Structure 1
Amino acid sequence: MTPRLRHPAARAPRGRSRAAGRLVAAAATALTIVGGAVLGLAAPASAHNYMIASTPKADGTLTSLPKAFEITTNDKLLDIGGSNAGFAYRIVGPDGKYYEDGCLAVDGPSMTTKAALGDSGKYTVEWQIVSADGHTVSDEYTFTWKAPAGFTAATGAAEPPTCSTASGGSTEAATNGTASGATDSAGTDALFIAAGGVVVVGAVVAVLLLLRRRPAAPSSSDEDDPDAPRED
């Protein structure tokens, strides 16, 4: 009997498609993992700061004047050039007047100001900051002031005070405020995100090279191929 010869070329596409399918599946898994890592790095960079502590405490009662009124957030604040641009700290009394001195100091995640309070009552703190991601965030909270015996009440101001020194109107906040590492923090986030993007691109290139150069894997079904030559 004359043996029937098989045609290897007919089997090659089948083996090649299986190998390509396995590579594509592996590539998809790798890209999903890397993409998730990059998104995980980008998420903190786009999150706004929020207040985690304050002096006085929100809805708390104050019985003596603190050295400074303070807002502390969860991340470094973005005070570019120490200008305090975009920052505000107001302390409004029950009479609607302002009791802060108008000067701000930004240090790391915190913003502080000083105030001389008036008569006892409920006060409102109105604040605005610039988050590490560059967005402004504002909010307010109240506290109760119970003046101690012998306390001399301040008169307050009808308009928010402007911080100035006796030497001719230079802003104290401009000399006290610092970038507080916020720029470094934002820059570091950007570097991590860029590095993640390089990893993704590298993974894509590697997969394309493998798909182009890897030879087709032999098909195990060839062993049982009815068209394979048999010895009589």
Structure 2
Amino acid sequence: MLSITVRRGAYAGNMSTRSAITVLVTTLGLAVLSSGPAFAHAELFGSSPEADSSVADVTEVSVTAGEELLDIGNNAEGFMMTVTDSTGLYYGDGCVSVDGDTASMPVALAAAGDYVVAYRVVSNDGHPVEGQFAFTFTGDENAEQSVAYAEMPECGVAQTPVAVDDSDEPADGESDEPMVISTAPPLISPAPSVDSTSWIGFAAIPVIAVAIWLLVRALRKRKS
């Protein structure tokens, strides 16, 4: 009878140990998988103007992703787009519109030159997609000047514009000394974000702790 009791206790201890190890290994596996980048995130499929293209007419800039972009009540929070020239001046009003898989911003250009579009959009799963592309604007002969800003525009926030034209003569009251403006950063720095699968890793912490406790408890019972 005593022998049967000992065997049952040992069997129960082995089962407890195995169960604890199984829970621990499974939870650790889920945590490792969830900590890596999630699959099937949106990728940039196209832009307007096209990257490295030369265009004569630009009324807006846009980027198109491979899936629907996150649009909560037409509120493009977390989306950013900028257009800068070779001197670091900004163009556009900073207001990004979202339509399905496309994000766009209106912009008016007059001076010919090279421009860089930097963007940051958010896919439906909350994953940010960011980057930049360049294009060449050949100029608008009918436009006398472009309206630009020395600082990055914010949607709905008024700024004092800087007039840009093709004339070599300084305007009345202006100095003929060149205006020095710091070059805009090549990319927009994204705000810290948590991936939609990261919660699995955080939720795994208490489960791992419980699994370790069960394992230690089972080992102690076996020794006793």
TM norm structure 2: 0.50
Greater RCO, CA 8 A, separation 6+:
1
Which is helix-richer, 1 or 2?
A: 1
Report the structure number with the largest CA radius of gyration: 1
Which is strand-richer, 1 or 2?
A: 2
